[in-house]
Amino acid sequence: MSIPVAGSNALALYPILEHLSEAARSRLQERARLLTIPAGTTVFDERQPCQGFPFVLSGSIRVVKAAPNGRELPLYRVTPGETCIISSACLLGQTPYNARGVSESETTLLVLPIADFQALLGEPAFRDFIFQLFSERIADLMQLIEEVAFRKLDQRLAALLLGKGQRVHTTHQQLADELGSVREIVSRLLKGFAEQSLVGLSREQVEILDPAGLRRIAGG
């Protein structure tokens, strides 16, 4: 099915597409598939083969690494204008996925088939775009590794709360998911923060009462 790429917001979100050759743009126009995925859908999972290269036009995909016990470590999110480094790696290495991607809201994707992704790598502009993507995502993942390996969970929780404003509308489970932890541990830490008058707790809300105190914890 021919997809009206030029008539969608793909060009606005991914300016790189305008720098492709006319033949490459025509190929994208003819071969790309437009998909709308409901919220909470597993877009891809571990050990599944990659079916194509996704451009996110709306919504977002949360990429996580799952452990056998069910715990998940959030790796990154893919939002409109961004692409998925794990999908790129699977296509380049011809390997299955090694993480899981779940749509956080209704998400629209423009999916480029595998053969067409490989063909587009012959375009210097597209190839540079992919390598730049790798550079940016690897830097993000290195920061995540540093936080998980060298910062205590209370430090990470304090930093996470400080980055969300004075009133954080969230659940303990959602905070645990973002930290790659479990709800019981996060709830215990939040109770400790509350006992120190650092935060106020109510249903699905955390109010920051003492930002300076949280900064001291976040800084170790």
Residue with the two structure tokens 């932890």: 181
CATH of the domain at 170: 1.10.10.10
Q: What is the pLDDT of residues 149-158, one digit of tens each?
A: 767 889 999 9
Q: Over 80: is that where the pLDDT of 186 sits?
A: yes
Same structural domain, 125 and 162? no
Contact, 112 vs 52, CB < 8 A?
yes
Calculate mean pLDDT across residues 68-94: 87
Q: Over 90: is that where the pLDDT of 59 sits?
A: yes
Higher pLDDT, 153 or 145: 153
Nearest to 18 by CA among 99, 144, 93, 129: 129
Domain end point (choices 149, 170, 198): 149
Which residue pairs from 89-92 have beta carbons closer than 8 angstroms and sit at least 24 positions apart in sequence? Answer: 90/49, 90/50, 91/50, 91/53, 91/117, 91/118
SS3 110: strand
DSSP label of 200:
E
Specify the amino acid at residue 156: R
Q: For residue 173, what are its two tokens?
A: 């489970």
Same structural domain, 140 and 46? yes
Helix axes 153-162, 211-218, angle to 10 degrees: 140
What's the CA gap between 133 and 76, in Å, rounded? 13
Contact, 164 vs 179, CB < 8 A?
no
Q: Over 80: is that where the pLDDT of 81 sits?
A: yes
Domain count, the chain: 2
Q: What is the pLDDT of residue 42?
A: 96
Q: Over 80: is that where the pLDDT of 208 sits?
A: yes
Q: Over 70: is that where the pLDDT of 61 sits?
A: yes
* Residue range of the domain that includes 187: 152-218
Higher pLDDT, 62 or 70: 62
Domain end point (choices 124, 149, 174): 149
- Most confident of the ranges 8-17, 139-148, 208-217: 208-217
Q: What is the pLDDT of residue 36?
A: 94
Same structural domain, 19 and 41? yes
SS3 81: coil
- The mean pLDDT of the chain is 88
